[in-house]
Structure 1
Amino acid sequence: MAGLEGRTTAPPEPRLASTVMLVRDGSDCPVEVFMLRRVPTMEFAPSMWVFPGGGVDARDATPDLPWAGPSPSAWAERLGTDEVVAQELVIAAVREVFEECGVLLAGPDASTVVGDVSGEQWQAERAALLSKEQSFAELLVRRSLVLRSDLLTLRDHWLTPEFEPKRYDTYFFAALMPDGQVADDATTEADIAVWVTPKVLLAQVDSGKARMFPPTIVNVEHVADATSAAAYVATRAAVVRVMPEAVRNEAGEVVLRAHLADAQG
């Protein structure tokens, strides 16, 4: 294990990934966040509570995708990467949240967001994305829509520890739940997909009734501290990439310690 016994082989290369914290004002708490509990048969993160998201797909590399909001160059500066990767990460974020919970961060123009996308035709669009029969760019062009990159805010950046067999370089985005849309539980990757009260879910993790990875816990804690959904999404702070590493504490127990890899503006 890296950080303890060392490793004899190079750590696996991390896959770029995007995840989105959809938030809305809550009835019993200031802010609710939409989360999924992955089915127990999943190879990666079985039974874990996660935000909608996933790895960058080859078809996310679409430079001519209809786009509104901060440009790929502006996102590159914010994400600490180049324009090509920045665009792929933003596209992956918007694509994944549509595939997994039916929320589409796009509109006819730069100032509007599409309304209800829960009908059968939209379900067919999601299925075609999941089966890779179409790219997200093709969907937008056919529907005369533009991706609204301004609806996303970068919140966090985590790198899977080097000792893990499957690694992700994950960017955490936040977005307000669009008016007129409904986040659903149609994904086959989760057995539960619901709006959660952050402090309730955190208490379930503490009691052992629920499971989350450390990056998810940290970000749910941030949502729990927010005063409103709009304030949470509007907050922009310096983001530092974090990579946990396994170490032994004074009692000899193996624990994860956060290592700050680098900072982004």
Structure 2
Amino acid sequence: MTSSPRFTAACIQMRSGRDVLENRDAAVALVRQAADQGAHFAQTPEMTSLVCRDRAELFEKIGPQDQDPVLAALREVAREKGILVQIGSIAVKEGDKVANRGFLIDRDGDVVASYDKIHLYDVDLPNGESWRESATYTGGDTAVLAETPWGLLGMTICYDVRFAALYKALAERGASFLTAPAAFTKQTGEAHWHVLHRARAIETGSFMISAAQGGLHADGRETFGHSIIVDPWGRVLAEADTEPGVILAEIDPALVTEVRGRIPTLKNARPFEMAAASDPKPLGLAASA
């Protein structure tokens, strides 16, 4: 059986602000840069089109999917440069709420897959930050696998990366490449970004490819950046800092087969039942302890 060819993947790190057209132009320029540097696949971060925490302003500046200027522009760039483009996500108006939706665009500029973020970030942080994505966004309910010339791509977004079962399910269905484009907060990113990405890659024997927002945004939030590409052995192949730009790494799909053969956790997983905690007595403790 012939293995899939190697390809070059790019993560586009951004610092999206409150002007959709400025964000569009920044994304287009960086995707073109990635293509000129040899990328066959380029991924933008979560909320490529707009980072804005004010709900009224957000609704004023977004529209339905077929009217989104960022989606239209990146479809044109994919066609112009002959590369695959994954839009990490854009905000799409869905009635009185918003879908946090990612897209995969093929070399002809056609949208071949879309994914609505399943897990919504509702949290109060110790530093006083409070986030309630569910107040504005409607969560998706369907995991998405997309076909690429090199194998299956699993599409997720940001907070999803904390839910390991989603990635296991995608890998069990054949995904070789898993993605979690993000706008991680600085505080949680410093603590967990790297370990979560390396863990998801190691657990599934997959590549993790995640573009990120980074730095201090116009709406006052600060994101962690550090767009990252991790191989199936858990090695970091490329990583950004906090500035907008492009990182690239060569992806060898054969490594997925090799690593899953060495540590076949997907094949070795077994169903189990949970015993009832009806007698929660401590075990192995001496009476005099």
Same fold (TM over 0.5): no
TM-score by length of 2: 0.27
TM-score by length of 1: 0.29
Query: Which structure is higher in RCO with an 8 Å CA cutoff and minimum separation 6?
Result: 1
